[in-house]
Amino acid sequence: MNAPTADASGAQDEIAEEFALFGDWTERYQYLIDLGRKLPPLDAELKTDSHQVSGCQSQVWIVPSGDAARLQFAAISDSAIVSGLIALLLRVYSGRSAAEIVATEPRFIEMIGLKGHLSPTRSNGLSAMLARIKAIAESSLG
């Protein structure tokens, strides 16, 4: 996985620039699927109830490591598009301090027009994944 961009805001700008290259949502969905396919596999022993995200129609696991100074996340889903959404979240939030994670709003969702192109269940799942990442960061702050 690439080193994180200098800050979460820069990562979100990069995501918006990448999505701007595609003419329609068919191409953008394919790009999301491709991003999801590039996620490293998650070891079976990490796919536990404690790492599973509730509120997602598909199965999603988020595994944190590190501490408040720098949190890393490994994650995967059994859904191709959801794995792509995870890849975007990891670009913005993984490798950041807990304080930066808590303070960073996912503006890339609106920047790329994602909200209007996700089904209600996927939109709820994206919210649940984001809430889990932020909750992990908040708990690491003590």
Neighbouring C-alpha atoms within 13 Å toward the C-beta of 3:
1
Average pLDDT over residues 4-27: 89
Taking the C-alpha atoms of residue 48 and residue 50, their distance in angstroms, rounded to an integer, is 5
CA angle 103, 63, 95 (to 5 degrees): 45
Per-residue model confidence (pLDDT) at position 5 = 55
Q: Angle, nearest 10°, between helix axes 80-93 and 120-140?
A: 30
Helix and strand counts by DSSP (H, E) for the chain: 6, 2
Q: What is the pLDDT of residues 67-88, one digit of tens each?
A: 999 999 999 999 999 999 999 9
pLDDT of residue 51 exceeding 90, the answer is yes
Q: What is the pLDDT of residues 99-136, one digit of tens each?
A: 999 999 999 999 999 988 998 888 999 999 999 999 99
Residue with tokens 């805001």: 9
Strand ranges, E, within 29-124: 60-67, 70-77
Average pLDDT over residues 33-40: 96
Neighbouring C-alpha atoms within 13 Å toward the C-beta of 72:
7
Per-residue model confidence (pLDDT) at position 103 = 96
Model confidence at 142, pLDDT cuts 50, 70, 90, reads confident
Model confidence at 1, pLDDT cuts 50, 70, 90, reads very low
| 56 given a catalytic annotation | yes
Q: What's the mean pLDDT when you consider all of the chain?
A: 93
Q: Which domains does the chain have, with CATH numbers?
A: 8-140 (3.90.1010.10)
Q: Which of 8, 35, 56, 98 is labelled catalytic?
A: 56
